Chains A and B, each alone.
Chain A
């Protein structure tokens, strides 16, 4: 025992280095992006507050583009609003909607911090638990899918961007319904990849990829991207498809958090599926 202590004292520097490095590595490899130690996260008030103060200065520079996006989205919404369809009827219409039930609701958020140049990108949002944001909710913008909320604090939340190695978005080819998953392989922030589409499916450049709605995180038919190149690889049953994201991740400033209203009921019924393993 004594000689062990003597040995440790002699090599105190190396031992201390190994201890600190092990702590770092344990934190690094234990942390699942969906459940990490919450004290080490920029959704904490101090850290997110610093970002928010800095973000306020940038707000003014982006007003013009934000306004353009908003007016575009407004006109899209007006096109689909039910009251604009009913104006053509002359008689009074009693509109009692029992055929449709609301499935999703949306909270507007501001993205106060966002990166695109790292391998694993995250964004910080200005709403948190106080506004009803919970882990696992989707984040979209008027132009496409942005990411999934992984961490929340009282007033802020952090979302894992689509531009992250752990991000997998359940996706569908709009024209024929084949589904796969969209991932990002790093490098160019505009280019993603669509996996798991079988070889016999015919796709051409410009085909639209939308969300499948299977996961209950995003509603159906939210745009993700358009097909850029399709390569057939010998010996593989699947196509290699590169897509261009419809949302330019460098120009993000506002988005919507998606809340799935039937989540509890759905989870309950899905928990009854017999497990294979």
Chain B
């Protein structure tokens, strides 16, 4: 239990620094803005209480907002993603339920399952974020396009990160 908390705290700080100091400064294109910090919420263990997931995403969103001067934007997107995650996990559950003390990591659930799970949630998060960024009807399709492109990019970075950084116990 304690080691889990330490591990997740480390991940929390690492992802914020990665996002704020490196990814936010990439300035690749107007259409490609990867947001990788969502990985923290994606990787929370299956049995984490719903209120805890929501609270953590609220705090994480607030910190990101403070760093990027976007009051409430990341928070709204991330909390909404955490809300959807709760139901998505129910829908995507294997026939005999999730095993105890397991995380949604691809080493347990298979790569296809993880890409589906992460892909849907990343798209929801990015879309909410880009729609809130400029709240006008004319901008909506640009936002969808941006969310798709940036989402694919975020997913690739997340998979690479998971390959060699975070190894859970088998």
**A interface vs B, CB < 8 Å?**
12-13, 16-17, 20-21, 23-29, 31, 36-37, 40-42, 44, 47, 50, 54, 115-120, 122, 158, 165, 186-189, 250
Contacts of A54 in B (CB 8 A): 21
Query: Are A28 and B76 in contact (CB-based, < 8 A)?
Result: yes
Query: Are B134 and A21 in contact (CB-based, < 8 A)?
Result: no
The distance in angstroms between the C-alpha atoms of A250 and B73, with both chains bound, is 24
Query: Are B66 and A47 in contact (CB-based, < 8 A)?
Result: yes
**B interface vs A, CB < 8 Å?**
20-21, 24, 27-30, 33, 50-51, 54-55, 58, 61-62, 65-73, 75-76, 79-80, 82-83, 86, 132-134, 139, 142
Main secondary structure of the interface of B (DSSP, over half): helix
Least Cβ distance of B72 to chain A in Å?
Answer: 3
From A28, A116, A165, A189, contact of B71 by CB (8 A): A28
The distance in angstroms between the C-alpha atoms of A54 and B24, with both chains bound, is 13
Least Cβ distance of B121 to chain A in Å?
Answer: 15
Query: Are A28 and B73 in contact (CB-based, < 8 A)?
Result: yes
Contacts of B71 in A (CB 8 A): 27-28, 31, 36-37, 40
Query: Are B133 and A47 in contact (CB-based, < 8 A)?
Result: no
Least Cβ distance of A231 to chain B in Å?
Answer: 18
Query: Are B62 and A21 in contact (CB-based, < 8 A)?
Result: no
From A21, A122, A158, A189, contact of B76 by CB (8 A): A21
Least Cβ distance of B119 to chain A in Å?
Answer: 22
Query: Are A165 and B134 in contact (CB-based, < 8 A)?
Result: yes
Least Cβ distance of A150 to chain B in Å?
Answer: 9
Given A20-B54, A47-B67, 14 other A-B residues pairs in contact with their CB atoms under 8 A? A13-B51, A16-B50, A16-B51, A17-B83, A20-B75, A21-B76, A40-B66, A41-B66, A44-B66, A116-B27, A119-B133, A119-B134, A120-B70, A158-B69
Contacts of A187 in B (CB 8 A): 30
Least Cβ distance of B95 to chain A in Å?
Answer: 24
Query: Are A25 and B76 in contact (CB-based, < 8 A)?
Result: yes
Least Cβ distance of B103 to chain A in Å?
Answer: 20
Query: Are A189 and B68 in contact (CB-based, < 8 A)?
Result: no
Contacts of A120 in B (CB 8 A): 70, 133-134
Query: Are B134 and A122 in contact (CB-based, < 8 A)?
Result: no
Q: List 21 A-B contacts (CB under 8 A).
A: A13-B50, A13-B86, A17-B79, A17-B82, A17-B83, A21-B83, A24-B61, A25-B72, A28-B73, A28-B132, A29-B72, A37-B71, A40-B66, A42-B67, A115-B24, A115-B68, A120-B70, A186-B30, A186-B134, A187-B30, A189-B30
Cβ-closest 8 pairs across A and B: A28-B72, A27-B72, A24-B76, A24-B75, A13-B50, A31-B71, A24-B72, A122-B69
